[in-house]
Amino acid sequence: MIQKKMAHIITYGCQMNKYDSDVISRILEENGYDLTDDEGCASLVLINTCSIRKHAEDKVLSKLGALSIRKKDTPELRIIVSGCMAQRLGAKLVHRFPEIDFVVGTGMIAELPNILKGNGNNPLTPFVKGEDNPLNPPLLRGTNPLSLFDNGEKVYTGESSCLYPETHINKKGLKSYVAIILGCDNYCSYCIVPYVRGKPRSRKPVEIIKEIELLVKTGCKEITLLGQNILAYGRDINESFVRLLRDIHAIDGLLRIRFLTSHPRDITKDLIAVFPELPKVCEHFHLPVQSGSDHVLRLMGRGYTVEHYKRMVEEIRQVYPCPSITTDLIVGFPGETADDFENTMNLVKEIGFDTAFCFKYSPREGTPACKFQDQLPEEEKARRLKELLDVQKAISLQTNQKLVGTVQEVLFDEKNPKEGAPLAEVAPLAKVALLAEIALLAEEAPPADECSLLGRTRGDKVVVVPTKTHKIGDIGMVRIAKANNWSLKGVFVDK
């Protein structure tokens, strides 16, 4: 049964969206909502959406279809759509699903409190039309050119000057995301992100530090800094990424720092040389290469060559003995020849990525590549994807096998999911396989008084360790005893 002021959030897409959902949770709670995992009893369902590939949007559309049907029986249900699809489609979403109550674009999260308060005294009622109506939230009133009333009162898209409301994190957990720069202006020819997330806007260092200090006070030990191109941090506000890293590194109680995503064009030898000076920075580098062919990289507008990429990986391997290098790859880009694809396969084998997130090219309306000649047939894209995934799977196993016998620092953040805890983030295609591996590893666990803990190495690999004494939140040294495709098994070593 629907319960008043219970809200359920559904999040699609990348880590940035997950972070935004954390912010949204806080706003909902501050406005009197209790969050629930049970969609069926929520009076408000908020869908935080992704536009990166057609498949991501299809999932949202089918969810909206189901919710719209439900709303016919339960008209008191409120549906809010936020995120990249909300920004991209705006009023079109409301035309297709009139059951939607509000569409809130990526730049308008800070307006959510006003939207929740609604028009006058009625929560979640649309605002009265008319730019100067005093009931409209300030950002949506008067002269702000970005305040678009696309569809009367329900659609809030545009780019606000305020990125997030002031105090917005109340998440408790060992690990947290912290967005430090929003947006991207690289305009890679296939990518929708610059159109839906706007130009790069860095958050102020003081704001970021304050947020991380708060997180650490509530038990956070590892943070992952987020940005579509994190190495662009500070350019717009005369700050620097390295300076920020140093300040974050100085926060007492914080043990690990990760960051995503580094654009290979912006990674330099000098930058790489700084990381080992900051031991809390984990030796895990997510460097999306996209293709192993200079011809395709040019068409994509990536701004680097395969040679540059290889050199940077080499630099990283010079400064760290055993770093994790992970990547994103797109197959079947328009104009990708059999030779281009072969070059990608060769690069994957040569570098030996720890993990690769591999995607079939998905045309996005409004991006240049969508209109390129020589679009590849779906079957060919699927064939190339399968070939690539098979090779990468074997390479992931090899990179894991190299760790057998080594001692790794592991931060334990979960119990064996068989015992009921959710599994932290892994490559989506690997998730099912990883769960199966963990189940097998855990079954091998000896006596009943031992449980299996799951943790991550500094290189972000999942490790299962049987223990009687350790608990979630501990950090320990573990000798790796066994390697699978997506996970490791180990035993604690005495200090």
Distance CA 111, CA 120 (A): 15
Decide if 156 contacts 111 (C-beta within 8 A).
Answer: yes
Is 229 a binder of ligand SF4 (CB under 6 A)? yes
Q: Tell me the DSSP string of 367-436.
A: SGGGG-S-PPPHHHHHHHHHHHHHHHHHHHHHHHHTTTT-EEEEEEEEE-GGGTPPP----HHHHHHHHH
**Residue from 86, 191, 230, 316 that binds ligand SF4 (CB under 6 A)?**
191
Position 68: which residue type?
A: S
**Residue from 14, 79, 139, 300 that binds ligand F3S (CB under 6 A)?**
14
Distance CA 188, CA 69 (A): 38
Nearer of residues 193 and 208 to ligand SF4, judged by Cβ:
193
Nearer of residues 145 and 428 to ligand SF4, judged by Cβ:
428
Decide if 118 contacts 110 (C-beta within 8 A).
Answer: no
Nearer of residues 7 and 182 to ligand SAH, judged by Cβ:
182
Q: Give min distance, CB of 430 to ligand SF4, in A.
A: 21
Q: Give min distance, CB of 96 to ligand SAH, in A.
A: 22
- Count of residues touching ligand F3S (by CB under 6 A): 13
Q: DSSP letter for 107, please.
A: B
Q: Give min distance, CB of 317 to ligand SAH, in A.
A: 20
**Residue from 193, 330, 369, 442 that binds ligand F3S (CB under 6 A)?**
193
Residues that bind ligand SAH (CB under 6 A): 52-53, 190-191, 193, 228-229, 261, 263, 288, 290, 328, 330, 359, 361-362, 364
Distance CA 158, CA 156 (A): 7
Binders of ligand SF4 among 192-211, rule CB under 6 A?
193-194
Q: Give min distance, CB of 425 to ligand F3S, in A.
A: 13
Q: Going along 27-160, which residue ranges are E strands?
A: 34-35, 42-49, 78-83, 102-104, 148-149, 155-157
Residue nearest to ligand F3S (CB): 13
Nearer of residues 52 and 296 to ligand SAH, judged by Cβ:
52
Residue 14 is encoded by which pair of tokens?
């990348």
Closest CA to 490 of 433, 445, 431: 445
**Residue from 172, 187, 311, 314 that binds ligand SF4 (CB under 6 A)?**
187
At residue 421's C-alpha, the angle toward residues 215 and 46, to 5°, is 65
Q: Which does 362 bind (CB under 5 to 8 A by kind): ligand F3S, ligand SF4, ligand SAH, none?
A: ligand SAH
Is 31 a binder of ligand F3S (CB under 6 A)? no
Q: Going along 99-190, which residue ranges are E strands?
A: 102-104, 148-149, 155-157, 175-179, 181-182
At residue 488's C-alpha, the angle toward residues 387 and 448, to 5°, is 135
Is 184 a binder of ligand SF4 (CB under 6 A)? yes
Decide if 295 contacts 340 (C-beta within 8 A).
Answer: yes
**Residue from 47, 50, 215, 329 that binds ligand F3S (CB under 6 A)?**
50
Place of tokens 């140093």: 246
**Residue from 9, 17, 320, 456 that binds ligand F3S (CB under 6 A)?**
17
Q: Give min distance, CB of 180 to ligand F3S, in A.
A: 14
Q: Give min distance, CB of 263 to ligand SF4, in A.
A: 5
Distance CA 256, CA 249 (A): 9
**Residue from 119, 133, 151, 186 that binds ligand SF4 (CB under 6 A)?**
186
If one counts every other C-beta atom within 10 angstroms of the C-beta of residue 350, the result is 12
List phi, psi (to 5°) of 454. -110, 135
* Segment interacting with ligand F3S (CB under 6 A) among 155-163, 193-201, 209-217, 434-442: 193-201
In the chain, DSSP finds a helix count (H) and a strand count (E) of: 14, 20
Q: Which does 234 bind (CB under 5 to 8 A by kind): ligand F3S, ligand SF4, ligand SAH, none?
A: none
Distance CA 182, CA 200 (A): 5
Q: Which does 330 bind (CB under 5 to 8 A by kind): ligand SF4, ligand SAH, ligand F3S, none?
A: ligand SAH
Decide if 13 contacts 83 (C-beta within 8 A).
Answer: yes
Q: Which does 187 bind (CB under 5 to 8 A by kind): ligand SAH, ligand SF4, ligand F3S, none?
A: ligand SF4
Q: Which does 53 bind (CB under 5 to 8 A by kind): ligand SAH, ligand F3S, ligand SF4, none?
A: ligand SAH
- Contact positions toward ligand F3S, by CB under 6 A? 13-14, 16-17, 50-52, 83-84, 192-193, 196-197
Rule CB under 6 A: which residues touch ligand SF4?
184, 186-188, 191, 193-194, 228-229, 263
